[in-house]
Amino acid sequence: MNDTICFRNIGQLVQVDATSQPPRLKISDGRALIVKNGRVEKVLKGSGLKSSNYSKVIDLKGKTVIPGLVDCHTHLIYAGERKSEMECRLSGSSYLDILQSGGGILNTVNATREADEKSLLKTAKARMRRMVALGTTAFEIKSGYGLDLDTEKKILSVGSRLKKELSVPVTLTYLGAHAVPDGSTRSEYFDFIMEHLPQFRDLADGVDIFCEEDVFSVKDLKRLFLHAKLVGFTQLRAHVEELSYQGGCAEAARLGAVSCDHLEYANPRDIRAMKHGDTVAVLMPGVTFFLGGEKIPLVHSMLDAGVTLALATDCNPGSSPTYNMQTVLNLACHLYRITPEQALVAATYGSAKALEGHKEYGSLQPGQRADFLTLKTKDYRDLFYYFGENFVDQTFIQGNPVRIPKNPAIE
């Protein structure tokens, strides 16, 4: 049967026009969206009912339609939680103080090592289903809470099961270089990562590193990237210039990183390097909010230079326990002083580009996956104006409505 669905009576249809420079939103009223075999076939003016060769017609009753949101930086496969650490931070300890005293990431590492694959899959799947209900339709997921061979592989194996079991695009990243595990020196552990890197080639789409004072250096980043390229990884990413300036951003961009992430301390030289390397700047305002950071990335300089911006949750139990890209959109606008249009383009087209998926999804253009959201409002800007609301009425994946879990995905 010809599986063609007509979504008629759309109030405000929001797409991304990636052909304009910079990419912009294309907003039209009174349209019908035609979806054939899970992909956008075309957009018609008016009701779309003149052409009657549809297997199904869905009346959207004037609702707003926007592209599904893309979360291009998450650590959502983990066990445990870190509420006590939050209390320590709120009483004055810094994130790095906690990490150096054996807490922080290492807490989550211990819990994740102890958890079996089945329970990790169960919790990660509940998180992702909640994220989909809140509007996310494509994901990146990192390992990095194992810091040993077995657990890193266990996390990526859970990732590939999620990729098979949920019908959303998932990009997997090997982040062995997330922290130095207890019982190793930095150089011992880094040598171990380099030695075993080829074993991860079939388990992940890319590699990542946390380049930070007392964690991994710019020299480590360079060694990892050069080796990863030799092994055959094409997607190189890096956590850079987050808590201090190290110089990792410029080096990563020079070596062909697809994205540089965080960037609170990135300077104009780094911005030029990202522009030159066509590296996407992934920004995560939820971390700034949750850690009480005062440093805001040079977002306007990035936009002026023509660097592609992306937005992500950084979903993780230590620095950004959120599943909600709507919150990220809202924070991006008001912490970075960017417009709703700039934020929405970043969270759709920009984040898809950070995953090299922008031809396949993110803009809701003909030929792309029909992953979109209907909103409980007639104006997409309400996502940015009212905060603390959930405006997603329904998430559609490849033209099919997704069932919404009622409960929050907490353990």
116 Cβ partners below 8 Å, 6+ apart? none
Q: How far is the CB of 76 from Zn ion (least distance, A)?
A: 11
Question: Which run of H or of E encompasses 150?
Answer: helix 149-165
Q: How far is the CB of 187 from Zn ion (least distance, A)?
A: 23
Q: How far is the CB of 105 from Zn ion (least distance, A)?
A: 10
Cα separation, 28 vs 34, whole angstroms: 15
3-state secondary structure of 236: strand
Chain residues 146-205 in contact with Zn ion, contact rule CB under 5 A? none
Nearer to Zn ion, 332 or 383 (CB): 332
Q: How far is the CB of 117 from Zn ion (least distance, A)?
A: 22
Q: How far is the CB of 208 from Zn ion (least distance, A)?
A: 8
Chain residues 119-138 in contact with Zn ion, contact rule CB under 5 A? none
Nearer to Zn ion, 144 or 340 (CB): 144
Q: Which residue number has the CB closest to Zn ion?
A: 314
What Cα–Cα distance (Å) separates residue 73 from each residue in 100, 177, 220, 303? Answer: 24, 15, 21, 20
Cα separation, 252 vs 312, whole angstroms: 19
What Cα–Cα distance (Å) separates residue 267 from each residue in 10, 130, 175, 286? Answer: 43, 36, 25, 21
Nearer to Zn ion, 251 or 314 (CB): 314
Give the interface size with Zn ion as a residue count (CB under 5 A).
Answer: 1
The candidate with the shortest Cα–Cα distance to 73, out of 228, 249, 281, is 281
Task: Spell out the alpha helix ranges (H) of 8-73.
Answer: none
Nearer to Zn ion, 318 or 357 (CB): 318
Cα separation, 6 vs 150, whole angstroms: 48
Q: How far is the CB of 74 from Zn ion (least distance, A)?
A: 8
Please write down the HEC assignment for all residues of 284-343. Answer: CHHHHHHHCCCCCCCHHHHHHHCCCEEECCCCECCCECCCCHHHHHHHHHHHHCCCHHHH
Q: How many residues does the chain have?
A: 411
Nearer to Zn ion, 152 or 314 (CB): 314
Nearer to Zn ion, 177 or 299 (CB): 177
Q: How far is the CB of 61 from Zn ion (least distance, A)?
A: 39
Q: How far is the CB of 322 from Zn ion (least distance, A)?
A: 13
DSSP lists the bridge partners of residue 235 as: 206
Question: b/e per residue, 37-74, with b = 16+ CB within 10 A?
Answer: ebbbbebbeeebeeeeebeebbebeebbbbbbbbbbbb
Cα separation, 296 vs 311, whole angstroms: 14
Q: Mark 311-330 with x for binding to Zn ion (rule: CB under 5 A) and - for no binding.
A: ---x----------------
Q: Mark 277-316 with x for binding to Zn ion (rule: CB under 5 A) and - for no binding.
A: -------------------------------------x--
Residues that bind Zn ion (CB under 5 A): 314
